[in-house]
Amino acid sequence: MAMKYSRIPQTEIKISQLAIGGMSFGKPAMKTYRWILNEEETDKMVQHALSLGINFFDTANVYGMGTSEKYIGNSLKKHQVPRDKVVLASKVYFNDGRLSKAAINREIDGTLRRLGTDYLDLYIIHRFDYDHPIEETMAALDNLIKEGKVRAIGASAMYGYQFQNMQYVAEKNGWHQFVAMENHYNLLYREDERELIPICKQDGVMLMPYSPLASGHLTRSTWEGHSKRNATDTSERAKYDHAKEQDMPIIKRVATLADQHHVKMSQIALAWQWAKGVTAPIIGATKEQYLDDAAQAVDVELTPDEVDYLDEPYTAHEIVGALDQNPVGMLPKDVK
């Protein structure tokens, strides 16, 4: 098994075809996230990922109230990992001022300080901001690139028309556009195939979905799991439990193909992502074995008929998760 690599569009930034999700790391700050890894555990996971050839780390200022960024940065510093050997992405929005110019300028400095670096490879807006003009946000992001604090920008979790509007404003003003989209996409939730994903593909924007394994539902043949996250993360249950009857036929097909290929269900689910044009699905691993399984998935290839077999049972789903105009979980003003 050898890791495979791609590049962030319009850049020379080389990324592994798997990203490690930083939401799994940090000091638990809310009851919902009691399952995340402490600093020692985070260090082990970061170094294990690097040993597998995974060089792409995606975190956010709000994860662990800033401690996810801090733990990742501390691990890289502790082991003297050269800066050009890792690709660091973080996100902004769940903070005072959301995507205002002042907030973006303040939050990038905090993120860089916690990660222990003087630049980010990819800076992602965590949500669409209904409270501030698109022009203000895109101008501020463009300026970060000009200042050298950010190499490229991306977006996350919004409707297709919102993403298109933001891209249009940037193009009209000669500013940098988004080159990456971090959206909710997996075999059990494909609503973005209607608008957002076609827009990204026509514009050459790379896809780096979160929740590619549907919070573990695509890793087992039964609905219920037994991990600490399954027992404590009510937000994840809210994303999927209401659609259990719709989704079980898909899960059964994933299990069938896994048996035929003599691989794990998670590897079929990830192979489906790459077959659908995804560049780097984000894995939220809390055990080294999960990373091993994901890394081995790069060698699994599905035929067009197998992709169709997995796609066929899907029916329209209720919009869930991040597409909420008034999300909670804001980053406190005093996070350092």
Domain boundaries, the chain: 9-311
pLDDT digits (tens, 9 = 90+) for 196-235: 999 999 999 999 999 999 999 999 998 776 665 555 566 6
- Residue 238: count other Cβ atoms within 10 Å of its Cβ: 11
pTM above 0.85, yes or no: yes
CB 145 within 8 A of CB 104: no
CA distance 35 to 331: 19
pLDDT of residue 325: 47
Considering the chain, what percentage of its residues have pLDDT values greater than 90? 86
Catalytic residues: 63
pLDDT at 311 over 60: yes
Mean pLDDT of the chain: 93
Considering the chain, what percentage of its residues have pLDDT values greater than 70? 91
pLDDT digits (tens, 9 = 90+) for 16-71: 999 999 999 999 866 557 789 999 999 999 999 999 999 999 999 999 999 999 99
CA distance 50 to 36: 20
CB 210 within 8 A of CB 184: yes
Closest to 310 in 3D by CA, of 257, 274, 267, 261 = 257
Tell me the two tokens of residue 78: 């502790």
Write out the E strands in the chain.
5-7, 14-16, 19-21, 56-58, 87-92, 122-125, 153-156, 180-182, 206-207, 282-283
CB 150 within 8 A of CB 176: no
Residue corresponding to tokens 């709000």: 62
pLDDT of residue 321: 75
pLDDT of residue 186: 99
pLDDT at 13 over 90: yes
CB 154 within 8 A of CB 180: yes
Closest to 264 in 3D by CA, of 224, 220, 232, 325 = 220
Specify whether domain 9-311 bears CATH 3.20.20.100. yes
Q: How confident is the model at residue 1 (pLDDT cuts 50, 70, 90)?
A: confident
C-alpha distances in Å from residue 22, one per residue of 43, 97, 105, 195, 286: 12, 23, 22, 27, 10
pLDDT at 327 over 60: no
